[in-house]
Amino acid sequence: MKRLLLMAWGLAALAAAGRAAEDGFDRLDAALTGSTAAGGVRARLSGTLDLEGYHFSQPPPGLIVAAGTGLFNPRLTLFLDLQLGGRVYAFVQARADRGFDPSNGPVEGRLDEYALRVTPWADGRVSFQAGKFATVVGNWVRRHGSWEDPFVTAPLPYENLTGMWDVAAVRSAATLLRWAHIRPKSFSGEQFSDNHYRLPLIWGPDYGTGFAASGELGRFNYAAEVKNGALSARPAAWPADEVRWRHPTLSGRLGYRPDERWSLGWSASAGSYLLPVAAPTVAPGRDLDDYREVVLAQDVSFAWHHWQVWAELFTARFQLPVVGDATTTAWYVETKYKFTPQLAGAVRWNQQLFGTVTDSLGVPVPWGYATWRVDVAPSYRFTPHTQLKLQYSLQPDDLGGREFNHTLAAQFTVRF
Amino acid sequence: MRIFRLLLLLLLTGGLPARLPAQAVIEGRVPLPPARPAPVLNQRYEIVSQGGVVGTNPPLAVVYLEGRFPAPTVPAKAVMTQQNLAFVPSLLPVAVGTRVEFPNLDATYHDVFSYSAPKRFDLGRYRAEEQPVPSQVFDVAGLVTLRCDIHEHMRGLILVLATPHFVVTDAAGRFRLGGLPPGRYVLKAWVDSRTTLERPVELQADTVLRVDFP
């Protein structure tokens, strides 16, 4: 806790010193933007440097992997945006950090996103995109970058681990209840050793590999994608060399904007959530395509003057041949208000509920612990290039008891 | 009797129409930095790509006469629009006390803000048709850098000046500054945040002075 506060004060001092460098950042931006003589090909290199610190009670919340009660997670993200004429756009996102999700592992480098987009008509009726990129489902992806997101952590549906695995198929209700730690019930505060097998409803921005088509028709917009993994697929399954094209996932979103203030969206996704390694464990006569994650989602956002609101509702059904389907519903609503040009505050309410599976005695049993989480996050922009976010989260422990997990997080971002 | 009084008044005031003070003109040229490439939009998570629609900002300079001038009796007004995902004009000189309106002419939201010391503000998200048009009064001299919280490539500059005599050059650096009172002043050319050229000038009535900055 003291380290976290010390870090926050240190970063604030650093940001204050950085005010004088505002003009320097603009010059750096100009230096990192280039074009051909005629301007037909233009490129821009930009990025963010995030210094994140977490303090939490065990077990760590969401997708964080750490043994102690604190974690320092630096992250350097580089973006390359490339415009070729008026019809072709490409982008790359590369990161160096301690894992896609915060962990105490060694620093590694990754190519998180790369895509090529072709827009044949200037009116934007359709664009085609290929590569490794964020999902079209929902509305969180558009603000998931550390600079745009009012919070340090993702909404609950994007990071709350369920009892579903991707390395083995559930063959009985007892297995699922054991993986969900319902039976036998684990003790409060226990860090599950099987966390690296478990899946959330949707894993972060889902940078899977595939193809997409999107466009705008009046007040409606649409996007559809074919990818190599389900929405719940883990980051290790996102790259193109993770061959799951025999079992692709199809997702889409239909959007409607009555005016600039409102944005409404309806999404759907279906695809196998099991990795190829799970093939030997499926029920006799079944294959991976019989184990699909089917997601229906609705999203809404509103923005007016200094106030913004976002909400998403997901209903997911994990198909389990022989056992019966396992359903879960997760939703959140978050709001952000700018109190001054530099000071903003955000609050988010998250909740996830679980359906039931029938145990060997014929009794319906929830296959997960219903949970909720409230996040509060003030943020301050020292300059147009430096920002400090703080977050406090309160959530019942993984076992749905009376114990609570308290998480404090601080994130200092330099954008260039 | 009434006609006599009127003739006396005309004699005392110097007759009608009143004589305007003789004015001077300065014209010349300012060397401009090379043009920057057009910005590249971050469209990673956009449904629709807007490849060639972005407005461009050619380098321009502001030439102004520094000296002691009477304050304007009526506060000035100016307009800086957001159009084609760019500030238009990209460089706007205004006198201290000017109210600047920021109409949004695009079909999408903008969120204009500035963290510059002379004027710190955030207009929030306004629709194109929303009234009143958001505005700010710029009452401290200095350079104000405008940005958009939604479109990170957008940059606009407002140069707040303690003089009513200023003009923006054309894209070739040429300028003509007229209506100047005779006297000794300093002519300045603001080129960018690091470069302001200056030259002492002596203006005489009804003359055109040529000043080419090096």
- The structural domains of chain B, with segments of one domain joined by +, span 20-44+59-69+165-214, 70-162
CB atoms B126 and A142 under 8 Å: no
Three-class secondary structure of residue A395 per DSSP: strand
Pick the CATH number of B20-44+59-69+165-214 from 3.40.50.880, 2.60.40.790, 2.70.70.10, 2.60.40.1120: 2.60.40.1120
pLDDT at A84: 92
CATH label of the domain that carries residue A336: 2.40.160.10
Are B44 and A113 in contact (CB < 8 Å)?
yes
**Fold matches, B20-44+59-69+165-214 and B70-162:** yes
A394 touches chain B (CB under 8 A): no
Q: What is the pLDDT of residue A19?
A: 57
Whole domain around residue A90: which residue ranges?
A: 2-415
Closest by Cα among B79, B53, B56, B66 to B26: B66
Overall average pLDDT of the B84-107 stretch: 95
pLDDT digits (tens, 9 = 90+) for A136-167: 999 999 999 999 999 999 999 999 999 999 99
* Per-residue pLDDT tens over the stretch A293-328: 999 999 999 999 999 999 999 999 999 998 999 999
Which of B38, B42, B128 shows the shortest C-beta gap to A81? B42
DSSP A136-199: SSSSSGGG-STTT-SSSSPPGGGT---S-BSSS---SHHHHHHHTTTTTTPPTTPPPTTGGGB-
Q: What percent of chain B has pLDDT over 70?
A: 86
User: How far is the alpha carbon of A375 from chain B, nearest alpha carbon, in Å?
Assistant: 23
Q: pLDDT band at A66, cuts 50/70/90?
A: confident
The pLDDT score that the predictor gives to residue B184 is 96
Question: Please, which residues have CB within 8 angstroms of residue B95's CB and are 6 or more apart in sequence?
Answer: B72, B76, B160, B161, B162, B163, B164, B166
Chain A, 167 to 206: residues with Cβ < 8 Å from chain B are none
Q: What is the pLDDT of residue B12?
A: 46
Question: In this predicted structure, what is the pLDDT of residue A401?
Answer: 61
More confident residue, B194 or A152: A152
User: What residues contact residue A218 under an 8 Å CB cut-off, 6+ apart?
Assistant: none
Identity of the residue in A89, A260, A306 whose CB atom sits nearest the CB atom of B122: A306
User: What is the amino acid identity at position B184?
Assistant: R
Confidence class of residue A118 from pLDDT cuts 50, 70 and 90? very high
* Chain A residues whose beta carbon lies within 8 Å of the beta carbon of residue B127: 259-261
pLDDT category at A22 given cuts 50, 70, 90 is: confident
CB-CB neighbors (< 8 A) of A126 in chain B: none
Query: Could you say which of B50, B122, B155 has the minimum Cβ distance to residue A341?
Result: B122
Measure CB to CB from residue A42 to each of B40, B49, B128 and give the nearest one: B40
Q: Is B40 within 8 Å of A33 when comparing Cβ atoms?
A: yes
Residues in chain A closer than 8 A to B58 (CB atoms): none
Collect all residues of chain B within an 8 Å Cβ-Cβ radius of residue A258: none
CB B125 within 8 Å of CB A305 = yes
pLDDT band at A398 (very low <50, low <70, confident <90, very high): low
Q: How many domains in chain A? A: 1
CATH superfamily of B70-162: Cupredoxins -  blue copper proteins (2.60.40.420)
Per the listing, tokens 């000794």 go with: B184
Per-residue confidence (pLDDT) for residue A144, from 0 to 100: 97
A133 neighbourhood in chain B, CB within 8 Å:
44
CB contact under 8 A, B52 and A85: yes
